[in-house]
Amino acid sequence: MSGTTTSTTSSTGGIPAQPGPRELTAAVPSEEVAPVSGTQGASGEPDTVIAGAGPVARPGERATLRLREGAGTDDEPPRYAPEWLQLREGADADARAGDLLDPLRIRLANLPGRPGGLVVHDLGCGTGSMGRWLAPRLDGPQHWILHDRDPYLLHFAAVASPRAAADGSRVTVETRRGDVARLTPDALSGATLVTASALLDVLTRAEVETLADACAGAGCPALLTLSVAGRVELTPSHPLDTEIAEAFNAHQRRDGLLGPDAVTVACEAFAERGATVRVHPSPWRLGPAESALTAQWLRGWVGAAVEERPGLRERAERYLRDRLAACEAGELRVVVHHSDLLALSRPTGGTS
């Protein structure tokens, strides 16, 4: 990891009581969301866009977790809006592929015994939603190491972390702040499992290969969830749906990022290193009950499309107004396709 990375350790005894969702929202400043990317607010600066099915990203910016040398400084602003992460958490939890948990549990049970239980590295943890979803679904003591460059997100992830595993065993947490400049087997030394959510699609091919190298070198499985698949279904349909989707997908591939190609590239990378790879769909299914999330997702989805193809702007603004009105009226349903990937690397101890 980067030589500037700092580490703070917390245990269940040292973390305040877990806050509820409203407390989490109230503790952080809000971010405004522009209806279309590139429109200007009163300050003359472009408004923020919440990217659909992914982290907040501005033109030229990279993922919160980076795998390359010289990846950012502490002076850079956070790229993840805590409100957005909280808004999508329920849909993420419903979407994640539970069918991948049984093969994961079997692999973890067959790993050499560790006195302290499971050691899980959560890369780009955000507010810790992956831990809240997964830790209560795994048996045995667990120690989660949460990686993110945003200290606010790390704080919330630690405070709101689960305290008990599926069988009541203790769950502890440690936070590590900073960009990951060199992800090596040494960085994952002692890891039982690597997890990430909505991360693969904002990495390059080289960065995914670095991640696969690290997991293979450490001999630990990786559960990488909610990577965009490049397909969206809106009901009722609209003539502009396909054009917006194509422009959004092109935007996701900017600057060598993998976007919708991430899962295919990751499957190849892990398989080439001897891992057994399973992929399962994990779509968001958004209806009237998720209208707040759908509205924010729409703004980011259309905004990114317009940023990629400015000629769409006039038609896209009318499209967005119509879609938001349908959303508010409870008449819009959206399926945003994602994929979850489980890579079972060969254990370094020789266990199959």
The pLDDT tens digits of the residues spanning 118-152 come to 999 999 899 999 999 999 999 999 999 999 888 88
- 154, amino acid identity: L
* Residue 76 pLDDT > 80: no
Give the pLDDT band of residue 79 (cuts 50, 70, 90).
low
* Residue 339 pLDDT > 70: yes
Cα-flanking dihedrals φ and ψ of residue 299, to 5°? -60, -45
Q: Which two tokens stand for residue 155?
A: 């704080």
Read out DSSP for 277-337?
EEEEE--EEE-GGGHHHHHHHHHHHHHHHHHH-GGGHHHHHHHHHHHHHHHHTT--EEEEE
What average pLDDT does range 195-222 have in this prediction?
A: 91
pTM: 0.79
Give the pLDDT band of residue 185 (cuts 50, 70, 90).
low
What is the reported pLDDT for 184? 67
d(CA 225, CA 95): 9
d(CA 5, CA 201): 24
**CA geometry: angle 99, 54, 192, nearest 5 deg:** 45
What average pLDDT does range 62-88 have in this prediction?
A: 57
Do you know the residue count of the chain? 352
Give the pLDDT band of residue 190 (cuts 50, 70, 90).
confident
* Residue 13 pLDDT > 50: no
The pLDDT tens digits of the residues spanning 263-286 come to 999 999 999 999 999 999 999 999
